Structure 1
Amino acid sequence: MAPTADWLTTPITAELLRGALDLERTEHGVLPHRLPARARAQNVDPQVAMAEAMPSGVRLVFRTRATRIELGVLATKMVYQGAPPRPDGRYDLLVDGRLAGQATVRGGRTLTIDMTTGTAASQPGPVGTIRFTDLPDREKDVEIWLPQREITELVALRTDAPVEAVGDWGRRVWLHHGSSISHGSDAESPTETWPAIAAALGGVELINLGFSGSAQLDPFTARAMRDTPADLISVKIGINLVNSDAMRLRAFTPAVHGFLDTIREGHPDTPLLVVSAILCPIQEDTPGPGAADFSTGKLQFKATGDPAERAAGKLTLTVIRAELARIVAARAADDRHLYYLDGRELYGEADFAELPLPDQLHPDPAADRRIGERFAEFAFGPERPFAAPAVS
């Protein structure tokens, strides 16, 4: 449906976006990125490139009296060969901080990925439009959270009343880095990833650098975090290093130190929380690499390493948790704003018994909510690492 004469079109600029570190102009519009251009130029991994361009935690934020909103988008939808199709990504509409609508968009590009060979094939598709109607006829703050699993080029923002950028809400900014679990791999919508849930409960602004398959202690990610203004920082380390079999203990320890050192160059006194992996039985004591497993007729993951190789320095989640705890304890002697959280406090053995990982790797939506609520309680509660400063 073509827009009628009473629609106003507002250019989509960085001023209207939160949660993105860069905005690339494309043939169709603009593409939000969660890594800056300098970091992207240093990356050679297609998985990182795909993950950082998926806008987990990225949202359009503006003030308007509009009762109708249209957003033209060109989505890139991921299809995993051999796995059932995933539902279309959701766009969550918040009005004055409350969920007021959800929408999906048809069409768009498709990227078909073969997880056994690592190859991918792209097919073109058309621009689509999402619509929200019957909104309250008053001045209001509007947020449109973009789908966390779909690369999303923003083509046009149309409303039936003028739009203006929203100033600082006075909230602290929380910068988080992690794996697909932080990215929101199996979350039902962008406001239902566990970091989004925790941020809402903690009353903070989220910048989510959760990159599916790509929390690998990359120096370019550490530099991006160093250079990003933030009041609170967390890094979740473990699962991708094990299931990618990316390094052994000899390389892991100095890599963690280097990653934290780089962050501290830009944030010397910012509360910094190091979080180890949640429980993942297949990789607790078995090294990687991890692999896709279709033997049951649905997508599952398995660990393919030999537990005997731990003696030669191969990483498991048990090994990583012990080393992270040791590293943080040693550094905390000189860094009073550094903290550690064992990820099994967020999701452990009792949780696995009640809410098992459907594919042996990723939490389901109910477990995501539990993780977000527990993180908020641990991090944002009174006298906790991210507790709000006392009001004098």
Structure 2
Amino acid sequence: MQRTRTLAHALLMAAGLFGAAAAQAQTLTGRVVDPETGETVPGAMVLLRGEDGMEQRALADSAGAYTIRARRAGTYTVSAERVGYQSTPSAPIVLADGQTVTHPLTAGVRRVVLDAITATGRARRCEGDVRRGPEAQLLWEEARKVVASAALTQQQEELTFVTRLHRRFRRLDNSRPTQSENWTIIAAGKPFTSLTAEQLLARGYVTFDRDSATFQGIDARAILSDAFVQHHCFSVAEAEADKPEMVGLEFMPLRRTREPDVHGVLWLDRASAELRLVEYRFTNLPYRGPVERLGGRLRFERLPNGGWIVRDWIVNAPFLDPTIPLTGELRRPRVRGLVEHGGWVVEIRGTGGVPGATAEGDTDPAPANTGQR
């Protein structure tokens, strides 16, 4: 019998904090406001770009205040990025060695429109033509904002997450779990994280031992990384009946890929351009049966202070026929059931403007709808 397991790391690493040397750095500070209403914009992502193209980001707090430190003296532009709006960089700002400059920052007011975006036909061939066309590029940029904001939220906000994790065994002929384990973790850091795209490329999305297989969950930050882009292509996804309010950005491995990989969709809300959901399935698996059920899901949620987190996730690995050995081309194991690993954040504690924030109802999220593509 081949054993399977998933590695979806949850709440195991504390977020890195800025070093003490930052006190001597060149600092830009101010407040992000909406130019039409004059109101502050909590959670806006502030982007500082130097003449050499180097970028640094920070999140505005719940009052719209931001502080961002440049690595060296020089000339910079700064802009406020918020999901669903276009941004415009400022005029050049000179930061002298050790200087602190106050710069009021206006957020963009021109909305990003996704209503008219539709798929023109699925990309049947994937030869490395990434982010096909301006519409796919637009979806990419909006998804990237949410993912970058989630990473900064974890770094800056000193949050502690109460997360319920589970592992369930489900037979394909029975929708109810035949065995279930549940436990709770209270820890600072990331509610969910995966290996980086570089690590996944080196180790593989699925690794096989003599009598076991390890399935690596993947997060959106890895999907939107340069290393992932080099081996996948992206295009506007076909609409789905159960997601009429969403538009998708599909990703798929290059055609030359023969090793296990991932194929899925990043789903964005049409009205707000916010990344809501990531669904994927594992490809090129040496199994028989409903292999399209093997995959995962991540659901993003915006916090009251404007930051973002992964609220819940699952990864499905196979429960295999115990009577058929792994070896032999004609004796590929048959998938008899699913081993589901997952978790959801039920409480958030911290100083980042979200003390005691709780999930929408203290219930287990619905099973992932993976393997649709």
What TM-score do the two structures reach when normalised by structure 2? 0.27
What TM-score do the two structures reach when normalised by structure 1? 0.26
Q: In proportion to residue count, which structure has more strand?
A: 2
